Amino acid sequence: MAKIPYNVDAYTAKLIGRENLAKIDSAIIELVKNTYDADADICILYLDEEKGTLYICDNGTGMNKDIIIEHWMTIGHSSKIVDYKTKKGRVQTGSKGIGRFALDRIANMSTMYTATLEKKLIWKQDWSRFEPNKKITEIYAELDEVNIGFSEFCEEIKNEEAKKIISTFKTGTIFKMENLQDNWDLSLFNRIKRTLQSIASPNLESIFKMYLFNNEIDKENAFINNNIINQYDYKISFDVDTNGKAKIKLIRNEFDLPNDFCEVLNLSNEDTKKVLNNKINIEKNLDELLAVNLSDLIRIGEFSGTLYFLKASISKDLRKEFLYKDITGRKNSIKEFGGIKIYRDNFRVRPYGDYGTEALDWLMLSARKAASPAGVTSTMGAWKVRGEQMLGQVNISRTNLRLADQSNREGIVETKEFNLFKDIIKSIISILERDRQYMVKKTSEYTMSKSPNKKSQAVVTEFLGSDKKKYDQNYYKKIKPAIKAVIEEKEKKISALENEISMLTSLATTGIVTNTYIHELKGFSSKLFTKICNAKETLEYLDYDKLESDEREDFCLGLSMIEDSYKYNNVFNSWFGITIGSISKDRRLMKRHNINKLLAEQIESWSKVLESKDIKITFNGDDNIEVRCFPYELDSIVSNLITNSISAFESDRFELKGEKEINISLISDSSGFIIEYNDNGPGLVKLYKNEPEKILEAFESEKRSVLGENLGTGMGMWIIKRNVDLYKGLIDLKNNINKDSGFYIKIKINARR
């Protein structure tokens, strides 16, 4: 049998390059990265506006004839896949073998001069030859050995400073591109300059220098200076190794604390140390940062980064209230630098962090903030940063195989590992968020202790209740500061309440929608139950003895399935009862209630659901406790705890050893009552094990999809905390720290709300 070779249409091969390097920026980046891969110390881009010619020059290793023929001229082939480290130890950035098509994207005609220590070669390609209906084997490039140096090849360059640098090259490669595809006006020139400023990690500046010349720019202004952040409020750097160990360093640079700060607040030794230590070092395993198995997180590989939080401006009043440092004259660094960028082997992975695009906030920090709008001084929720407040860099490598580039060079493939990668970065940012919220609360306490707010309130109250006619203008001027202080205090409280209302409105909307469908489902369930009963009666009416043997088997199977349907219907009705019952009118009346009875009723409403899941629940009560309360608030506490236990029993971490158990005790207390709750599930994940109070923050959840996406609302424990706070109660979770398994919580509720 004859063997025949494949061939490729020349124009199709050209389109592969065009599709993968659609933007001029991407094409420039590809060629600049190649100069780095060639071990160059210097890369020069020179634009001759008059002739419409672009040069890209480097002092790398150059190419010999064999490399040009076997690698450069073979589309899709890349020597970088196997030999991905250079002689200087650099990890090479490309591996797709289509980078040479960047030349076609930039210009119709390309001439390459390349020199090794042994030989000098010139290669030429007219890209218009890649026409439809021509085979790739019919397209040729020109290759000749020459005896000219760098200066002779670049004699048409008009910028003397650029020529002077090029004249020092001993080896390297120069591309001369003519008949440019784009209109290289000032706007495009400046855009390419901004691209070059962000293309390489700031870490590279000492070993890899870039210049962008035209006919007039001098060397100093042609030098591409990587943006480095010097002014910031917080800096957090991290280094994650292949074993999933994260080393994190937090630097606090936002506050200007007075000498008497700790003394005025009467801080404990622990709090004093925390407040005064502006450099914090943390070491954690990744599964202590994220509620995911360490084995899944290790697959991501090692990575590092440095992130910055900064305010663009601040009012004089806020600066005074929160003891912020003066940031007058601070530049809008987000506009200049962009957001959080990803660098692979020291080169940008676009478009992450690009200013003016959706990719500026690729971590969806602003959406996270919208879901948790709590202010930084809020006691009810966790403060979150906005997308435009964070910038910096995250460093990965080609060895991060699960974080592969898209073939078009426009981002990373959306895999489970990439989702987890994003969540790890957000969990590192949350360390910064918690520290800042703690500090702002302390600075606010300090300024409150120094301000005459109570006295101001008394003055205003007296004024409002008096005869205004007896006061003259001088008195009005005198009490004006007191009025201002009271207004500011009220505005803070209003702002905090508005944040809380925003969160509760979101939950209420979800609840309304759920309740609407629950009512509909209950109707369907009732009709279904009637149909099941009719079907069962029909089957039972049949004379079993008159059935054939195969019919008897089907008859028994049918009855068995109907019995199962009865059970499922009972479970459905139990769920409906829990959901609808919790918002019934009588549960929303504030009056004196027997707490034992309330809890017993709510636990009973869960009995069918728990029975269907083989979970045993035990309640030990005290019938003598009566407290004025809203029943639905206690219902919410019990239901959220039971829901969490069910999820824990159903998680992959749970190993059944005996019965699944939930224990609830109600204990009388001098000022109210105590609810003790525990289960024998797997307990808290490592993320919360040593800091169990974190589960009380909004949007903290360990539930994830197979793609690593967060599934849980993370609001259940936050709602419990909110309800307990309404009764000025306390939540104790410390037993979880020392227990190997099981979940433990003690809730103290005061009798007076």
Q: Give the number of C-alpha atoms closer than 13 A to the C-alpha of residue 546, restricted to the C-beta side.
A: 5
Side chain identity, residue 455:
K
- For residues 193 and 390, give the distance between their C-alpha atoms in angstroms, rounded to a whole number: 23
- For residues 94 and 349, give the distance between their C-alpha atoms in angstroms, rounded to a whole number: 12
| pLDDT (average), residues 692-720 | 74
Confidence tier at 571 by pLDDT (50, 70, 90): low
pLDDT: is 110 or 577 the higher one?
Answer: 110
The pLDDT assigned to 171 comes to 96
Order the strands of the 142-146 sheet from edge to edge. Answer: 142-146, 120-126, 107-115, 172-180, 53-58, 42-48, 209-213
H-state helical runs in 51-144: 65-67, 101-106
**CA distance to 81, 174, 338, per residue, from 97 (Å):** 9, 19, 30
The pLDDT assigned to 104 comes to 87
- For residues 563 and 508, give the distance between their C-alpha atoms in angstroms, rounded to a whole number: 37
Looking at the predicted structure, is the pLDDT value of residue 575 above 90?
no
Element (H, E) at 249: strand 245-252
The pLDDT assigned to 320 comes to 87
589: its two tokens: 């009346």
- For residues 507 and 273, give the distance between their C-alpha atoms in angstroms, rounded to a whole number: 38
Residues 6+ apart with CB under 8 A from 558: 535, 539
Residue 234 and residue 306 in contact, taking contact as beta carbons nearer than 8 Å:
no
Confidence tier at 594 by pLDDT (50, 70, 90): very high
- For residues 519 and 517, give the distance between their C-alpha atoms in angstroms, rounded to a whole number: 5
Looking at the predicted structure, is the pLDDT value of residue 549 above 80?
no
Side chain identity, residue 141:
A
pLDDT: is 398 or 514 the higher one?
Answer: 398
The pLDDT assigned to 94 comes to 62
Q: 29-66 pLDDT, tens per residue?
A: 989 999 999 999 999 999 999 999 999 999 999 999 99
Residues 6+ apart with CB under 8 A from 473: none
Query: 3-class SS at 517?
Result: helix
- Burial class of residue 655 (count of CB atoms within 10 Å of its CB; 0-12, 13-18, 19+): exposed
The pLDDT assigned to 452 comes to 57
pLDDT: is 565 or 62 the higher one?
Answer: 62
Looking at the predicted structure, is the pLDDT value of residue 524 above 90?
no
Confidence tier at 527 by pLDDT (50, 70, 90): low
Q: Give the number of C-alpha atoms closer than 13 A to the C-alpha of residue 462, restricted to the C-beta side.
A: 12
Looking at the predicted structure, is the pLDDT value of residue 578 above 60?
no
314: its two tokens: 């601040």
The pLDDT assigned to 519 comes to 45
Looking at the predicted structure, is the pLDDT value of residue 564 above 70?
no
Residues 6+ apart with CB under 8 A from 712: 647, 701, 702, 703
Phi first, then psi, for residue 692 (nearest 5°) are -60, -25
The pLDDT assigned to 520 comes to 45
Side chain identity, residue 533:
C
Confidence tier at 357 by pLDDT (50, 70, 90): confident
The pLDDT assigned to 421 comes to 97
Q: 152-205 pLDDT, tens per residue?
A: 999 999 999 999 999 999 999 999 999 999 999 999 999 999 889 888 888 788
Side chain identity, residue 398:
R
475: its two tokens: 């008195």
275: its two tokens: 């407040």
- Cβ neighbours of 733 (radius 10 Å): 20
137: its two tokens: 């084997």
Identify any residues that bridge with 125 across adjacent strands, giving them in sequence order: 110
Q: Is the pTM of this model over 0.85?
A: no
| pLDDT (average), residues 649-674 | 89
- For residues 4 and 26, give the distance between their C-alpha atoms in angstroms, rounded to a whole number: 37
- Burial class of residue 226 (count of CB atoms within 10 Å of its CB; 0-12, 13-18, 19+): middle
Confidence tier at 512 by pLDDT (50, 70, 90): very low
Least confident of 9-13, 260-264, 648-652: 9-13
Looking at the predicted structure, is the pLDDT value of residue 222 above 90?
yes
Side chain identity, residue 350:
R
Least confident of 135-144, 196-205, 352-361, 517-526: 517-526
Looking at the predicted structure, is the pLDDT value of residue 215 above 90?
yes
The pLDDT assigned to 708 comes to 56
Q: Give the number of C-alpha atoms closer than 13 A to the C-alpha of residue 707, restricted to the C-beta side.
A: 7
Reduce the secondary structure of 555-605 to three states and give it as a string: HHHHHHHHHHHHHHHHHHHHHHHHHHHCCCHHHHCCEEEEHHHHHHHHHHH
- For residues 141 and 289, give the distance between their C-alpha atoms in angstroms, rounded to a whole number: 55
Looking at the predicted structure, is the pLDDT value of residue 368 above 80?
yes
Looking at the predicted structure, is the pLDDT value of residue 466 above 60?
no
The winner for highest mean pLDDT among 129-133, 508-512, 549-553 is 129-133
The pLDDT assigned to 509 comes to 42
Looking at the predicted structure, is the pLDDT value of residue 495 above 90?
no
372: its two tokens: 């948790």
Phi first, then psi, for residue 162 (nearest 5°) are -65, -45
- For residues 211 and 193, give the distance between their C-alpha atoms in angstroms, rounded to a whole number: 9
Looking at the predicted structure, is the pLDDT value of residue 123 above 90?
yes
| pLDDT (average), residues 442-448 | 88
Confidence tier at 513 by pLDDT (50, 70, 90): very low
Total residue length of the chain? 753
The pLDDT assigned to 19 comes to 66
pLDDT: is 368 or 676 the higher one?
Answer: 676
Looking at the predicted structure, is the pLDDT value of residue 99 above 70?
no
The pLDDT assigned to 5 comes to 76
Percent share of the chain, pLDDT over 90: 43
Looking at the predicted structure, is the pLDDT value of residue 724 above 50?
yes
The pLDDT assigned to 478 comes to 56
Looking at the predicted structure, is the pLDDT value of residue 102 above 60?
yes
The pLDDT assigned to 379 comes to 72
Confidence tier at 612 by pLDDT (50, 70, 90): confident
Q: 689-703 pLDDT, tens per residue?
A: 888 998 888 777 776
